[in-house]
Amino acid sequence: MDAKTSSETVHIQLHSSIQHPGQEKERHELQSVGKYMEKNGSAYLQYEEEQDGQKIQSIVKLGSKEGLIMRSGAINMRLPFSIDEMRLGEYRNEQMTLKLQVKTTALNFMRENDRNGKFVVAYELHAEGSLLGKYELSITYSEGKQ
């Protein structure tokens, strides 16, 4: 079976906020150049970021009903998203492995075309029965150069 794959270079802007219980909301921004890909009818973004001098590869499966963030490198993480469902995820680094429960509270993917779109997800992370934090993530991608 031949899987159809197409790929376009895109500029990626990522905005995230994290609200840990009892703490102030943290905000983060990332700008990167990456790839928008379509494979077997699903849309993906792939990009690289650096954290504490170490590289992390990220792949985001884009969707309005389901989504997924996979990170590998200095940290390994898998966060599946499905609206109003608790899904199992995982976070690993050199020191530990943490099993996570991911509760998606909002999920939206707006695609103008293959080179322009926006993915928005809000979710809660739980581990061992405790809320770790509430997260909001917005990823905008646009054609090639800024």
127-144 pLDDT, tens per residue? 998 999 999 999 999 986
pTM, 2 dp: 0.88
Domain map (residue ranges) of the chain = 5-143
CATH of 5-143, one of 2.40.128.20, 3.30.565.10, 1.50.10.10, 2.120.10.30: 2.40.128.20
pLDDT at residue 2 in the model: 40
CA pair distance 62, 139, nearest whole angstrom: 10
- pLDDT tens per residue, range 76-85: 999 999 997 8
Angstrom CA distances, 4 to 39, 42, 89, 91, stand at 6, 10, 28, 31
pLDDT at residue 145 in the model: 53
What is the average pLDDT value for the chain, to the nearest integer?
Answer: 90
- pLDDT tens per residue, range 34-57: 999 988 888 999 999 887 888 999
